[in-house]
Chain A
Amino acid sequence: MKYLAQAAVAATLAGSMGLQPALADTAKIGFVTTLTTPAAVIGNDMKNAAELAREHLGGKAGDTDLEIIFADDGFAPETGKQATDKLVKQDDVDFVTGFIWSHVLLASRKSALDGGKFLISANAGPSQMAGKLCDENYFSTSWQNDQTPMAMGEVLNQQGVKSLYIMAPNYAAGKDMVEGVERTYKGEIKGKDLTKWGADAQLDFSAELAKAEASGAEGIFVFYPGGAGAAFAKQYDQAGLADKLPLYSVFTVDALSLPKLQDAGLGAIMGSRTTQQWDPTLDNAANKKFVDDFKAKYGTYPSFYAAQSYDAIMLIASAIEAAGGNMDDTDALRAGLKAADFDSVRGDFKFGNNNMPIQDFYLREVVADDDGKWTTKVVSTVFEDHQDSYAAECKLN
């Protein structure tokens, strides 16, 4: 009798809330990213790439249908955590992926992992989660935050830059980036500014740029993702620093900021150098298909955010296929993820003990393509098969 009543209540509730029982032959992927606030420009790029990946897969991994549910984190950890809770508890997804921001990922981590879901970061790479907080069900298709600036530190050494000024936003990833460049850079650090971040981030850098110039450093290293990158580049140009204080950046000058900078006629950015684990010009079949189709469908170059999101969906699909579409076989799914047996747009990579990619890092330069559109191209390889510095702190093996 109790069960009958229970079923009746369940049916009523489900009916009134428009819920349907999950179909067994569908794999659900929750995708948490930023769809409101100015940072939505990143979120939309990731969403586009994830949808393109699904299209390339024909909507299926083996015989299993793929369903992607997008959720907005509002550029804030608390909202991101709520979005993750909803995906886990209400939509009952099998994988949670996306995550632009390190602090959002850190806040959402417990919700996804305690809910027994696989968590796959398509961008954020906070140091904690590569080290002490690593988990057998947490993977990354991007990098650990420190790695890209470490590559940049190496480049600075090679180019003989003797002193440096550093600017980054004051949040988890900003601190990791500073830590990363300090790890490899051997010259003197003349000064450092961490600026307010979030929905009401500081975008006027007049005071900081004046300090940087007065410090007498030979170069400036910055990390300003999303719209802040374009704002920084403009003020850097307006202050006439291009000749005095060469710009070395990570995650700042990208496929999202370049069209805007081109519209604004900001020639100073041409030739500026950044490091990255991926580039639209990387020569492999998967990347060619991804970049060409992305450009054809959306009219712009994909950003690295897009490349990593595309990889995340491909990685998930490869794991589902390896597990034979059995979504209850967690061990087989985990082994499938760990194998990273898919054609990544960055070329081959493998997962380390902490499930972070071991991969190459390139130095890239801003150039105009054949149609005159501003983009980047690879100059040289800085690191080969680079593993992050926190792997040893992770208890997994």
Chain B
Amino acid sequence: MTRQDWIAVIMLALLAVLPPLFIWTGQYFWMDLATRLVILAIAASSLNLVLGFGGLVSFGHAAFVGLGAYAVGIPAYHWLYGGMDAIAVTNGFTQFGLAIGVTAFFALITGMICLRTRGVYFIMITMAFAQMIYYGIVSIEEYGGDDGLVIDTRSEFPLIDLDDPLQLYGLCWVSLLVVVLFVRMIVRSRFGMVLQGGKGNEERMATLGYNVYAYQLVAYVISGAICGYAGALLGNFTTFISPEMMDWTRSGELMFMVILGGASTLAGPIIGATMFIVLEEVLSSWTVYWHLPFGLFLILVVLYIRGGLTGLLSGKKGEGE
């Protein structure tokens, strides 16, 4: 294991120990923050797979989060209020399966188009698709449109009860662990080598006989599906789902988490999400003008901390794009 891997292990260990302490001592709000943090870390990890390791700067990952959340919300809505019997369920496996399936499909269709473009065109077309989904959801009156959807029932699984904050957190934490290991496995596989090779020099990989486009598309679909899964967790956590989750600024926040923590490192997204949540919480409790120090911090990080915090901690510069 490298030093960067150790940082990931330490972060995961901390996240395993702290929240039960919060519950034990009655700090339920801190528990909420930890849950949100872990879910965002999963979403950021999925973005890191394409952005960090694949060099594909997606500015539309918030759409996957939103789609995943609505994949939980819409079945729950129909289960409560009738209609659309085929998907009116509270069964967690169906809901989460739906979240993964829908986002993977969306990633496949949009990825086929987006990956034809490069550079800033890719950034902007991913954002365009996210905006389309955003306005698409807003236009559906039945699911609340701009007002969002309040769901009164969480996904139901055998053995675990998501209404219990600790069990919900447990599910999120285990999910994060699995996602981190999964990303690690992908990155170290032959598939991951080709993907990372494509980032450095696409033409050379093509000359070597690899269909880089196909590799990138598969990575994009995997990333979208993981992000959709994070969205399903988020929907279960907040029990309120709104188009706001898919706003372009949310995609920007996910990018910030990855860059802040350190792109193309395993620990990066976790550290980035943690810093993001802590900063947001601390600064906004000081002043309503908290966007000012937050924006300055963002600029300073980009200008001076290349490789992100993980790079700083492990003493090795990551690859700031």
**Chain A interface (Cβ within 8 Å of chain B)?**
6, 9-10, 13-14, 17, 35-36, 40, 72, 76-79, 81, 85-86, 89-90, 102-103, 106-107, 109-110, 170-172, 197-198
5 A-B pairs besides A9-B24, A107-B148, A170-B145 with CB distance below 8 A are: A10-B26, A40-B288, A72-B284, A85-B29, A102-B147
**Does B21 interact with chain A (Cβ within 8 Å)?**
yes
Asked whether, in the complex, the Cβ of A107 is within 8 Å of the Cβ of B284, the reply is no
Are A110 and B150 CB-contacts (below 8 A) given A6-B24, A35-B288, A76-B244?
Answer: yes
Residue in A14, A81, A86 whose CB lies within 8 Å of B240:
A81
**Of A36, A85, A89, A110, most B-chain CB atoms within 10 Å:** A89
Q: A106 contacts which chain B residues (CB < 8 A)?
A: 147-148, 150
Chain A positions within 8 Å of B239 at CB level: 110
Whether, in the assembled complex, B291 has its beta carbon less than 8 Å from a beta carbon of chain A, the answer is yes
Known A13-B21, A197-B146, A198-B146: A78·B28 in contact at CB below 8 Å: no
- Least CB distance from B161 to A in Å reads 16
Which 3 pairs from chain A and chain B are nearest by CB? A90-B29, A89-B29, A103-B147
Q: Decide if B2 is an interface residue (CB 8 Å cutoff).
A: no
B314 interfacial by beta-carbon distance below 8 Å: no
A107 and B150 within 8 A (CB):
yes
Provide the bound-state CA to CA distance between A79 and B22, in Å. 22
Known contacts A77-B148, A89-B28, A103-B147; is-contact A72 B242 (Cβ 8 Å): no
Question: 0/1 per residue, B148-172, Cβ < 8 Å to A?
Answer: 1010100000000000000000000
Q: Report B238 CB to chain A, min CB distance, Å.
A: 7
Return the CB mask of B10-30 against A: 1 if under 8 Å, else 0.
000000000001101111111
Given contacts A36-B291, A107-B148, is CB(A77)–CB(B242) below 8 Å? yes
How many chain B residues sit at the interface, stated as a range, is: 20 to 34
B284 touches A77 (CB 8 A): no
Q: For the complex, what is the distance from the CA of A90 to the CA of B138, rounded to whole Å?
A: 32
Residue on A with the closest CB to B243? A198
**CB distance A13 to B148 under 8 Å?**
no
- The reply on B39 being an interface residue by CB < 8 A is no
Name the residue on B nearest A102 (C-beta): B147
Q: List 10 A-B contacts (CB under 8 A).
A: A14-B25, A76-B244, A78-B148, A78-B242, A78-B244, A78-B245, A90-B28, A107-B242, A110-B152, A172-B147
- A41 → chain B closest CB, angstroms: 13
CA of A381 to CA of B291, assembled, Å: 46
Known: A9-B21, A107-B242. A77 touches B147 (CB 8 A): yes
**Quick check: B21 and A170 within 8 Å, CB to CB?**
no
- Shortest CB-to-CB span from A93 to chain B, Å, is 12
Contact across chains for A89 and B32 when beta carbons are under 8 A apart: yes
Q: Is the CB of A13 within 8 A of B240?
A: no
When distances are taken between beta carbons in the complex, the residues of chain A under 8 Å from B238 are 78, 81
Known pairs A77-B242, A90-B29; A103 contacts B150 (CB<8 A): no
Partner of B25, one of A9, A85, A110, A198: A9
Residues of A close to B150: CB separation below 8 A:
106-107, 109-110
For B30, what are the chain A residues with a Cβ–Cβ distance below 8 Å? 13, 17, 90
Q: Is the Cβ of A107 less than 8 Å from the Cβ of B240? A: yes
CA distance A370 to B238 in the complex (A): 52
Instruction: List residues of chain B with CB within 8 A of the CB of A109.
Output: 150
Closest A residue to B28 using CB positions: A89
Per a CB cutoff under 8 Å, which of B25, B26, B29, B148 touches A103?
B148
Q: How far is the CA of A79 from the CA of B36 in the complex (A)?
A: 13
B146 to A72, Cβ gap below 8 A?
Answer: no
Residues of A within 8 Å of B32, CB to CB, are 85, 89
- Choice from B25, B145, B245, B288 contacting A72 with Cβ under 8 Å: B288
B129-154 vs A, CB cutoff 8 Å, 1 = contact: the mask equals 00000000010000001111010100
A89: B residues at CB distance < 8 A: 28-29, 32
Task: Given A10-B25, A110-B150, answer yes or no on A36-B288 (Cβ-Cβ < 8 Å).
Answer: yes
Q: Measured between C-beta atoms, what is the minimum distance from A6 to chain B in Å?
A: 6
- The reply to whether B147 and A78 form a contact with Cβ atoms under 8 Å apart is no
Question: CB-CB < 8 A to B291: which residues of A?
Answer: 36
Chain B residues with CB below 8 A from A78, complex form: 148, 238, 240, 242, 244-245
List A contacts of B146 (CB < 8 A): 103, 170-171, 197-198
For A107, the closest partner residue in chain B by CB is B240
**Whole-angstrom distance between the alpha carbons of A152 and B90 in the complex?**
44
Alpha-carbon separation in the docked complex, A102 to B242 (Å): 14
Closest CB in chain B relative to A106 CB, distance in Å: 6
B147 & A171 in contact (Cβ 8 Å cutoff): yes
Residues of A within 8 A of B245 (CB): 78
Whole-angstrom distance between the Cβ of A125 and the nearest chain B Cβ: 14
B86 to chain A, nearest CB (A): 26
A152 vs B230: C-alpha distance when bound (angstroms) = 47
Q: How far is the CB of A226 from chain B (nearest CB, A)?
A: 16
Across-interface contacts of B26 in A (CB, < 8 A): 10
Best-buried of A78, A79, A85, A102 by chain B (most CB within 10 Å)? A78
Pick from A36, A77, A79 the residue with the most CB of B within 10 Å: A77
B121 to chain A, nearest CB (A): 24
